[in-house]
Amino acid sequence: MGSYKLIDHTADIGVEVEANSIIELFSETVNALINILTELPPEEIKARIGKRKGIKEKMIVKKDSWENVILDLLNRIIFLVDTKKLVPISLCIKEKKNTYRFLIEMINEPSLLKREIKAATYHNLKVNEERNIYRVTIIFDI
Amino acid sequence: MAVGTIELKKVGESLFEIPKKGKMRVPARVFIDERMASSSETQESLVQLRNVACLPGIKKWAIGMPDIHYGYGFPIGGVAATSVDNGVVSPGGVGYDINCGVRAILTNFTREEFKKHLEKVLREIYRTVPAGVGSTGIINLNKKEHKRVVEKGAEWAVEKGYGDEEDLIYCENKGCLGGADFADISNEARERGKDQLGTLGAGNHFLEISYVSQIFNPGAAEVFGIFQDQVIIMFHTGSRGFGYQICDDYLRKLREKRMFELPDPQLVSIYISDPLGKAYLSAMKGAANYAWANRQIITRMVRDSFRNVFKLSPSEMGMRVLYDVSHNIARIEEHDINGRKEKVCVHRKGATRSFPAGSPDIPPEYSGIGQPVLIPGDMGRSSYILRGLSGSMEKSFGTTCHGAGRALSRRQAVKRAKSRDIAGELEKKGILVLSVSKKTLKEEMPEAYKDVDEIVKIVEENDLAGRVAKLIPMGVMKG
């Protein structure tokens, strides 16, 4: 099972993410993003909203480097948060031959948003894979 | 001496050089004192500065200001001038918050007469200027108006009644960089920017009401219109989501070109002469112009708030714009490169232009003094108004520091603040704080920042900028 940890960064916020597959890594980076945006873990957000259904946003990303897929996914969600004031609550990923298909569930509950994120940055962005463990560190500009 | 893996050579008073090595195209120079140089906290930002020295076409040095701290790609407090003919522009060298900057508005109130009105005025501003996470403004730009904002900057806001023609004189570049083409800006950026004009934002963005506690240069202060105990408003904001999206859009476009091997993917760059380089600069100018329009609209809101409290017109209250500076921007400027005037693209990332007396690019009435440089410190100590000095043209492509620089990460600051009541502590010091978020106050508490006095001392020692006046906060508004 994947995990993430918020880390210190002088001016901004960083996360270290770890997972057992690249798909799980994508999913955990979004969980980390949810945590930064709401200052709550995703499971707490889900508990708060109960059975309410969210709005589904579809996103298809061409298979590129893992780093680029992560940044495209995160920055798309940041765009949706900023423009529609929606809060991401879950992510469903389907892998096709040449693409990843993301279904982002978002809820209209702007009071849950506690932090403005400008963007996920490319700073020293590198996915490392070792013995089927995938790791990445992401710095968010806030 | 060495700081971690970085070799540092002292080359002047509070000036160190990282010699050119490996993939560096020029040496790097950093304006820091011995204590900062030996600090392990400085190390990460020096690695970033060394990476900046690898940019194709970079001239003379990659330069770090004394408020340097760890950023992404460029360090914050980083400066790079690249050749217009055979150099690159790096969107990461400008940052996501394009034309984030500071504006100061003078008043003719003294501290004593203003004190009893402070709370009323600050609450009125707090009510009027949208701030905090997800804040949107009262203006909803349609495509035609958005295009005009992009092309005209602060002038658009003045035409719409958000200020006077005179305000434009007191902005760098008169509040507009020419050559911004709306066609170079994505629909996503337009969407993100359509309702954020006239908003302060969150994080380290703020509005502060201060008084002049000390004057260092009476002649310069007189020219700037500054006097002892005067009340001055200073605020810090930029191009909001519009600029963030433009930066992200172009980083994505540039990464696909993969033109150069650079030590950090955030430094991804493109030749200035390449059509994509030109398109980025055009879009960046559009975001810079949006930021100037944003600060102009907030100026009107501040004036209106004062008017509502005092029932006087802005001119009766002496509410003149002192100056508006940008500290996240790239501009084409002419600088002396080894005895020859050359056009270069000066990236200032968390660094302020500091043009000296005689510069044609500053308002005529300041031309004998140098441009005002606005340096916010932290909300509990002080801020400064400096003036540009000639050493900046020789040593830093006409640049100086932009603030105190962070000393603690946000997490460290929150941990150290624990359950402290930061607003209460500041109130005991006579500083009224209004903030949307209590956590932001902890992240932005005074100890989270370096001592601005030390930063200003270094820029003055190096003739980059000179002290004109010191400001002490009376009231602060945070997002």
**Domain map (residue ranges) of chain B:** 2-80, 101-478
pLDDT digits (tens, 9 = 90+) for B103-150: 999 999 999 999 999 999 999 999 999 999 989 999 999 999 999 999
Calculate how close chain B gets to A10, using CA atoms only, in Å. Answer: 4
- What confidence category does residue B260 fall into, taking pLDDT thresholds of 50, 70 and 90? confident
pLDDT digits (tens, 9 = 90+) for B311-320: 999 999 999 9
Spatial distance between the Cα atoms of B107 and B130, rounded to a whole number of angstroms: 22
- B134 and A6 in contact by Cβ < 8 A? no
pLDDT of residue A11: 81
- Given the candidates 3.40.30.10, 3.40.630.30, 3.55.10.10, 3.30.360.10, the CATH classification of the domain at A3-141 is 3.55.10.10
Choose from B74, B100, B133 for mutation: most chain A CBs within 10 A. B133
- What confidence category does residue A5 fall into, taking pLDDT thresholds of 50, 70 and 90? very high
Three-state helix/strand/coil letters over chain B = CEECCEECEEEECCEEEECCCCCCCCCEEECCCHHHHCCHHHHHHHHHHHHHCCCCCECCCEEEEEEEEEEECEEEEEEEEEECCCCEECHHHCCCCCCCEEEEEEEEEEHHHHHCCHHHHHHHHHHHCCCCCCCCCCCCCCHHHHHHHHHHCHHHHHHCCCCCHHHHHCEHHHHCCCCCCHHHCCHHHHHHHCCCCCCCCCCCCEEEEEEEEEECCHHHHHHHCCCCCEEEEEEEECCHHHHHHHHHHHHHHHHHHCCCCCCCHHHCCEECCCHHHHHHHHHHHHHHHHHHHHHHHHHHHHHHHHHHHHCCCCCCCCCCEEEEEECEEEEEEEEEECCEEEEEEEEEECCEECCCCCCCCCCHHHCCCCCEEEECCCCCCCEEEEEECCHHHHHCCCEECCCCCECCCHHHHHHHHCCCCHHHHHHHCCCEEEECCHHHHHHCCHHHECCHHHHHHHHHHCCCEEEEEEEEEEEEEEC
Overall average pLDDT of the B190-211 stretch: 96
Structural class in CATH, domain B101-478: alpha beta
Secondary structure letter of residue A124 according to DSSP: T
Taking the Cβ of residue B247 and every Cβ of chain A, the question of whether any pair is shorter than 8 Å is answered with yes
Overall average pLDDT of the B155-179 stretch: 98
Spatial distance between the Cα atoms of A68 and A72, rounded to a whole number of angstroms: 6
What is the end-to-end Cα distance of chain B in Å, rounded? 42
Spatial distance between the Cα atoms of B54 and B49, rounded to a whole number of angstroms: 9
The token pair that represents A99 in the structure block: 């693409």
* pLDDT above 80 (res B163): yes
For a pLDDT cut of 70, what percent of chain B falls above it?
100
pLDDT of residue B256: 87
pLDDT of residue A10: 83
Calculate how close chain B gets to A123, using CA atoms only, in Å. Answer: 5
If you count residue pairs, one on A and one on B, with CB atoms under 8 Å apart, how many are there? 100
Interhelix angle B275-310/B240-257, nearest 10 degrees:
170
Taking the Cβ of residue B265 and every Cβ of chain A, the question of whether any pair is shorter than 8 Å is answered with yes
Contact indicator for B31, B462 with CB cutoff of 8 Å: yes
The token pair that represents B297 in the structure block: 């609209």
> Strands B206-215, B101-110: parallel, antiparallel or unpaired by DSSP?
unpaired
Calculate how close chain B gets to A98, using CA atoms only, in Å. Answer: 17
Overall average pLDDT of the B359-376 stretch: 97
Choose from B253, B268, B410, B414 for mutation: most chain A CBs within 10 A. B410
Backbone angles phi, psi at B449, to 5 degrees: -115, 155
pLDDT of residue B363: 97
Domain boundaries, chain A: 3-141
> Which of A67, A68, A79 has its CB closest to that of B192?
A79
Q: Is B260 left (phi over 0), alpha (psi -120 to 50) or beta?
A: beta
The set of catalytic residues of B is 402
> Which of A8, A82, A123 has its CB closest to that of B264?
A123
Task: Please state the ipTM of this predicted complex.
Answer: 0.95
- B192 and A82 in contact by Cβ < 8 A? yes
Nearest residue of B to residue A72, measured between CA atoms: B252
Choose from B248, B435, B444 for mutation: most chain A CBs within 10 A. B248
Q: Which residues of A touch B71 (CB under 8 A)?
A: 10-12, 123
Calculate how close chain A gets to B374, using CA atoms only, in Å. Answer: 20
* pLDDT above 80 (res B220): yes
Spatial distance between the Cα atoms of B405 and A83, rounded to a whole number of angstroms: 30
pLDDT of residue B261: 84
Secondary structure letter of residue A110 according to DSSP: G
Name the residue type at position A115: R
Overall average pLDDT of the B222-251 stretch: 98
Spatial distance between the Cα atoms of A4 and A30, rounded to a whole number of angstroms: 10
* pTM for this model (two decimals): 0.97
Spatial distance between the Cα atoms of B156 and B152, rounded to a whole number of angstroms: 5
- B69 and A13 in contact by Cβ < 8 A? no
pLDDT of residue B257: 85
Q: Which of A99, A107, A115 is nearest to A80 (CA)?
A: A107
